[in-house]
Amino acid sequence: MTTQYYTATSIDGYIADEEHSLDWLFQFGDGEEAADGYAEFFDQVGALAMGSTTYEWVVDHEQLRENPGEWPYEVPTWVFTTRALPVVEGADVTFVEGDVAPVHAEMVAAARGENVWLVGGGDLVGQFHDEGLLDEVLLTVAPVTLGSGAPLLPRRITDPPLKLVSAEPQGDEFAVLTYEVRHADE
């Protein structure tokens, strides 16, 4: 079981623009290589977590207020939030707040040996890192720069640094980078 942060990012390290939009990413369409890579990744996911902004983006992007039965994830989902959010009928979503460590333990149990996916945002993922609960960072790097927006991971991670496990091209535009998270006690 691995706890993974899997996301797309601009070259300059943003996962969304200033308006929380991913139009910069969607301009590339649903490339076959990307779809295959996502399907392979998601086949190994048993639980996932996201922050409130990411959850609201999914609800809006998937038009879940109008089509509540279309929740895109078939695994238990935890949403970290300090405010009331719309509930999607039929979705296995649990709203939580506070320390990520006890929730991570619940997620690991629910994943039943499969991986835990930290969808985003970067600050939430940083909280998992701060607690020593993040094992891997998988980045699909898009050939654009945004200049500002939602940062990939708004934390200093310098000692020990992440360890590059692989770097692979994906199609003509993207690079997929996989990093192992090393912890100070290793």
> What is the pLDDT at residue 65?
85
3-class SS string, the chain = CCEEEEEEEECCCEEECCCCCCHHHHCCCCCHHHHHHHHHHHCCEEEEEEEHHHHHHHHHHCCCCCCHHHCCCCCCEEEECCCCCCCCCCCCEEEECCCHHHHHHHHHHHHCCCEEEEEECHHHHHHHHHCCCCCEEEEEEECCCCCCCEECCCCCCCCCCCEEEEEEEECCCEEEEEEECCCCCC
**What are 99-148's pLDDT values in tens digits?**
999 999 999 999 999 999 999 999 999 999 999 999 999 999 999 999 99
> What is the pLDDT at residue 90?
87
- Indicate the fold that domain 3-7+22-180 takes in CATH: Dihydrofolate Reductase, subunit A (3.40.430)
**What are 52-106's pLDDT values in tens digits?**
999 999 999 889 888 877 889 999 999 999 999 999 988 999 999 999 999 999 9
- Could you tell me the residue ranges of all domains in the chain? 3-7+22-180
- Asked if the model's pLDDT at residue 171 lies above 90, the reply is no
